[in-house]
Structure formats: C-alpha cells, structure tokens
C-alpha cells in the first residue's frame, strides 16, 4: 500500500485547485491536500508535516515569495513549487535563486506530476545524505556503545569549559576488571555493563548536577569534568553510584572504580593534557592501593617506571629472577604452626628488588601473571616435596591467586599437573583470593573455585572486610577460610570500631562454619584479643617475618614439638624480652 502524499496548496481559486489535484493523480499515490490562501492560514498549516508545497505566484492577500519566506523561517524543508500563468523568465530565475524547486505554467500542468516526482526523489536523497552526515558526526563525536561524548568530543567540550575561569576539575573514572569480564563472559556482556554504567551516570550525575560533563574516553574509562567546588561531592556520588551491583542478564556484576583527578590550571591548561594527567593519576591510585588519587608531577616518572617494569616482566618466570618467601600461620589456641603462606618476590638484574605492590598490578595488566602464577604453584609444590623428603611434617601452603589466573582456561590443569608431578595430596595446597577478584564475576568464580574445592584444596578469601563483605556472596562461594585484613588488626584492641568489625567477622565466619585467619598480628595484646573472640589462626611479625626456604626449614624444625613462643598467649607482658624472628636477628615482642 502506497503512502499518502501530503500536499499543501497555496491557492485562492477552488477551480484551479481541482485542476492541480487532477494533475497530481498521475503520481498514483493517495493525496491528502490542504488549501490555504493567506499568511495566517499558512502559518497554522505548517504545524503539520508536508511532502510538497505548491503555490500560485500571485494571490490577493500575498504572493509566492512571501510564502517562501514564511516556509524558510519555519524551516520547512518540503520542496516548494510555483504554479502560475503569468510569470516571465526573469521572475522565474529570481524564484529559483531564492530556493523555489521549480516553476510550472498553468497551461502546461502535465509537467507538474513529473516535477513533484523529481523533487520528492531529490528530497529523499537529501534526507538520506543528511542522515548519513548526522550518523558520521555521531560516530565521530559520540561513543557507539554508551551514547556519551567520546574522547574527541569530551576534549572539545572541556576546552570550551576551560575558556571560562579555568578552574575545572577533570576526573578519570577507570572501571577495573572490565577486560576480565569481557574475556570471561564476552564482549556483549561487557558492553551491556558499560551501557548500564553510562545510564547510571546519566541519570544520577549528568541530569542531577548542573554543569557536569561526562564522556566515554577509553575502553574502560569515563571522563568527568566539573567546576572546582563540585569535585568532592562528585567523587562521593560516583563511588556511591557504582557501589551497587549491576544486573546483566541473570548475572549480578560488581565493578571496582578507580578515580584519578587533574585540577586546572594547576595540572594543565590544555584539555588533552588534563585528561592525560587524570589518567596518570588513576595508575597512581592503583599502585598505592587507593580508590582516588590526584595528579602529581612525580607520576610521569612513575609511569615510565611502570613501563620499564612491564618490559622487564616479560618472560620473568623463565629467567629465574623470581623467588618465594614463606610466612608461618599460627594456631592461636596452642601456638603451633598450622600452615604457611607463599609470598612472591622479584629481584631484577636491572631494577633490583621490585615490590609486589609495584609489579603484580603490572603483571595482571600485561597477562604475565598467568605464567608467573603457574611458576609459583609449581615452585610451592616442589618445595613441599623437598620438605617432606627431608622428614618434616607436611603443612598446607597457601598461594595468592589473581583474577586473571581464574580466567585462564588452563589454571585448573596447572594445579593438577603440579600436584601429580610432586606426588602431593591436594590438601597440602591452599588458594587465597581477594573479595574484589571474586565479585567482578561471582558466577564464573564460583564455578572455577567449586571445581578446585572439589579436589580437596582449601580456599580463603583474602583481605576480608575491605571490599563487599556480603553474607549473600559468602554463602555462594566454596570457601573454607576468611582472612581478616591487617588494616582492622593494626589498632586492636584499643580501637572500638575495629573491635566491632573483627567481632562481626568472627561471628559471621562461625555461622558459616569458616576458619578465621588474622593478618598482620604484631603484638601479644592483639593475639590475645583475637583468641578471646574465637579467631583460630594468625600470622604476622609477632610470630615470624616472611622467611626464605632455608630459614623456614629451621623454623619448622625448631617448632615441630612446641609452641612458636612458649606461653605468649598466657603469661604476663614480655617486658621487652627479645624474640628470635628466624632471620638471624632479634626484635622486641
């Protein structure tokens, strides 16, 4: 069924209108015509859309040139055709120059239908070109996934904002683990998550705070610009917005936002420089283990060092520059050694000793954490076999596992091969994962960890209390241990807030029948408080520093038949007695 042809006719003669309508029947389309004969009725008619406007040149109240002026003012894009019996060549040329599509003489109305057909085709072509140009502009300036301004557009809008008083803050919002979600669940899921984040920012930030600019400036990054007084409030609002989970399909996904801030004009007066510095501040925040960090000039040297670290990490597992230290875990009830935690260390020939805080995030970004993690598992199993062959009582050794390792299809096979190669039971190996690594994609993590737990390998949630710490996700995870983060232990037993948090964690673990391990125990008062709350295990400098494999051997032999520190949890204060830390020196307890 052909679409109606909407014709607006500017004509004072009803007879002439009939003739025009008859001439248009050649188009073989249903006609919907409306006739007007003065400026007022024309203005009213233009409230409706029209495919073509046909006008007599001279009317009693006004003429075609005045009508064309009204159409242009109202931005009516319909082709405008003049039909007259009296205009000459000079007038025709003038009308065409003014924008009239064609002039048809009344004694040659057979030309009208072909002229309308031609102009309708031309109008359709113009619309198609305009749509294509608009789409090209949208693709050039707006992100296809989120619909937000892209980096180019964000930078241009930011440059305009900087032309004012110049006191503008630029926030780079980085969504950690988005790449992991894409690799694990597919690009479609990660794009859906990005759209959900953008919609949340649009609804609660762009629409809720005046003068805020938001753009999608990188695959996992959003740019936010606002005037200086708004910055702190926006940071808090963004963190609150992204703290809640995102429902993607049937999956509940959490994101870990990291925010870098650049202040204009202090950190740059150019839009691109400010964006780049805010991005550099994100890396500084991640290195420091923070959620928010501002730009400092030292960041540039840090970025160069990160680049150098990434280059040196390539192939490090095969070069022999890695080694492990082991920190004992102590059963608080009797002071016996109940396990060890393997801690990765890197001594590079060029860089010297590199802190795990520095190189582990880089290894996760570059993917080198996968071969490094495989090396750690094999080295732990090899060392366990050595200790067993030396006649030591076997103790479980915990290995820290990064999110990227859990996504690796060969991860479970690496564990199985290492256990088989060194003839070990799975119970001698334990894995430690962080809350944020699990919460990035709980469903996938549960599936992989369940397979590992079914082998008989213990699984602990490390740094518990610093992330989501929800009962709901704990019940779904196949874990056996909870490790209380050292930040909650440091000020015990005096800090009432930390006391309450530790008490709650221990109570939660008891309800779920999980073993509680406290990290960073440095004095006897902390140990006594933890024991009184029902915490089963602890590790920290009070008992032993991280030890190399030779000193661990000595430590295990010395403690094989007794407590780590005789009476440490039962006798009065040590009164400054020296405590051997099994590294060849003595420190105060």
Report the distance separating Cα 5 and Cα 21, nearest Å.
11
Count the neighbouring beta carbons within 10 Å of the beta carbon of residue 32: 13
Q: What is the pLDDT of residues 70-125, one digit of tens each?
A: 988 888 888 999 988 778 888 888 888 888 888 888 888 888 889 888 888 888 88
pLDDT at 436: 67
Q: How confident is the model at residue 576 (pLDDT cuts 50, 70, 90)?
A: very low
Delimiting residues of CATH 3.20.20.450 domain(s) in the chain: 308-562
Report how far apart, in Å, the C-alpha atoms of 427 and of each of 129, 394, 440, 457, 484 are: 68, 10, 27, 5, 22
Pair 541, 489: CB distance under 8 Å? no
Task: Tell me the per-residue pLDDT of 338-361, one tens digit each, with 9 for 90 and over.
Answer: 999 999 999 888 888 888 888 888
**Does position 479 have pLDDT exceeding 90, yes or no?**
no
Q: Torsion over CA of 477, 252, 176 and 348, rounded to 10 degrees?
A: 20
* pLDDT band at residue 208 under the 50/70/90 scheme: low
151-296 classified as CATH 3.30.70.270: yes
Q: What would you report as the CA-atom Rg of the chain, rounded to the nearest whole angstrom?
A: 37
Average pLDDT value for the chain: 83
Q: Calculate mean pLDDT across residues 409-413.
A: 89
- Mean pLDDT over 422-445 rounds to 81
Residue pair 345/322 in contact (Cβ under 8 Å)? The answer is yes
First to last CA, the chain: 92
Pick the CATH number of 308-562 from 2.40.50.140, 3.40.50.300, 3.40.50.970, 3.20.20.450: 3.20.20.450
Question: Tokens 């099994």 map to which residue?
Answer: 582
What pairs with residue 9 in β-bridges? Answer: 35, 54
pLDDT in tens, 299-332: 666 667 777 788 888 888 888 889 999 999 999 9
Average pLDDT rounded to a whole number, residues 264-278: 84
Output the six-digit token pair for 210. 């005046």
Q: Is the pLDDT of residue 572 over 50?
A: no
Q: Assess contact for 519 and 489: CB atoms under 8 A.
A: yes
> What stretch(es) of the chain map to CATH 3.40.50.2300?
5-140
Taking each helix axis from N to C terminus, what angle separates 369-389 and 411-421, rounded to the nearest 10 degrees? 20
Torsion of CA 351, 357, 363, 369, to 10 degrees: 120
CATH of 5-140, one of 3.40.1710.10, 3.40.50.2300, 3.40.50.300, 3.90.550.10: 3.40.50.2300
The span from the CA of 35 to the CA of 28, in Å, is 20
On whether the CB atoms of residues 103 and 69 are closer than 8 A, the answer is no
């Amino acid at each position: 069924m052909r679409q109606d042809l909407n014709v607006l006719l500017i004509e004072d003669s009803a007879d002439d209108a009939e003739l025009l309508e008859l001439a248009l029947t050649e188009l073989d389309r249903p006609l919907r015509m409306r006739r007007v004969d003065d400026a007022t009725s024309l203005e009213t008619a233009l409230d409706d859309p029209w495919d073509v406007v046909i006008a007599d040149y001279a009317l009693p109240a006004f003429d075609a040139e005045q009508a064309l002026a009204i159409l242009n003012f109202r931005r009516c894009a319909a082709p405008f055709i003049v039909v007259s019996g009296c205009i000459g060549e000079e007038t025709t040329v003038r009308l065409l120059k003014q924008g009239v599509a064609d002039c048809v003489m009344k004694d040659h109305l057979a030309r009208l239908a072909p002229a309308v057909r031609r102009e309708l085709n031309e109008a359709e072509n113009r619309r198609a070109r305009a749509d294509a140009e608009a789409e090209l502009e949208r693709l050039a300036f707006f992100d296809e996934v989120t619909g937000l301004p892209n980096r180019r557009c964000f930078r241009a809008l930011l440059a305009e904002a900087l032309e004012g008083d110049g006191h503008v803050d630029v926030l780079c919002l980085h969504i950690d683990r988005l790449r992991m979600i894409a690799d694990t669940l597919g690009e479609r899921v990660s794009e859906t998550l990005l759209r959900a984040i953008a919609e949340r920012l649009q609804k609660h930030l762009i629409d809720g705070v005046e003068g805020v600019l938001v753009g999608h400036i990188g695959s996992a990054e959003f740019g936010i610009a606002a005037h200086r007084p708004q910055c702190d409030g926006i940071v808090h609002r963004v963190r609150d917005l992204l703290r809640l989970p995102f429902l993607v399909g049937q999956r509940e996904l959490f994101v870990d936002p990291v925010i870098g801030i650049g202040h204009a004009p202090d950190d740059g007066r150019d839009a691109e420089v400010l964006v780049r510095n805010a991005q550099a501040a994100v890396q500084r925040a991640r290195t420091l283990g923070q959620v928010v960090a501002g730009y400092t000039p030292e960041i540039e040297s840090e970025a160069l060092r990160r680049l150098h670290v990434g280059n040196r990490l390539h192939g490090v597992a095969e070069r022999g520059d890695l080694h492990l230290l082991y920190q004992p875990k102590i059963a608080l009830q009797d002071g016996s050694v109940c396990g060890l935690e393997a801690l990765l260390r890197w001594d590079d020939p060029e860089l010297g000793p590199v802190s795990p805080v520095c190189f582990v995030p880089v290894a996760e970004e570059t993917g080198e954490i996968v071969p490094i993690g495989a090396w750690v598992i094999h080295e732990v199993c090899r060392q366990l076999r050595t200790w067993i062959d030396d006649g030591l009582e076997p103790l479980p050794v915990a290995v820290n596992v990064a999110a990227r390792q859990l996504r690796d299809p060969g991860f479970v096979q690496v564990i199985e091969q290492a256990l088989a190669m060194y003839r070990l039971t799975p119970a001698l190996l334990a894995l430690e994962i962080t809350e944020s690594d699990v919460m990035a994609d709980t469903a996938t993590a549960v599936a992989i960890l369940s397979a590992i737990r079914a082998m008989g390998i213990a699984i602990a949630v490390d740094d518990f209390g610093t992330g989501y710490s929800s009962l709901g996700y704990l019940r779904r995870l196949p874990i056996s241990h909870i490790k209380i983060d050292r930040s909650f232990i440091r000020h015990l037993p005096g800090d009432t807030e930390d006391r309450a948090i530790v008490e709650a964690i221990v109570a939660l673990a008891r309800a779920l029948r999980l073993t509680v391990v406290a990290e960073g125990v440095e004095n006897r008062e902390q140990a006594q408080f933890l024991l009184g709350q029902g915490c089963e295990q602890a590790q920290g400098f009070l008992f032993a520093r991280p030890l190399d494999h030779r000193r661990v051997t000595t430590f295990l032999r010395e403690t094989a038949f007794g407590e780590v520190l005789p009476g440490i949890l039962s006798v009065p204060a040590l009164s400054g007695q020296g405590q051997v830390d099994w590294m060849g020196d003595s420190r105060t307890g």
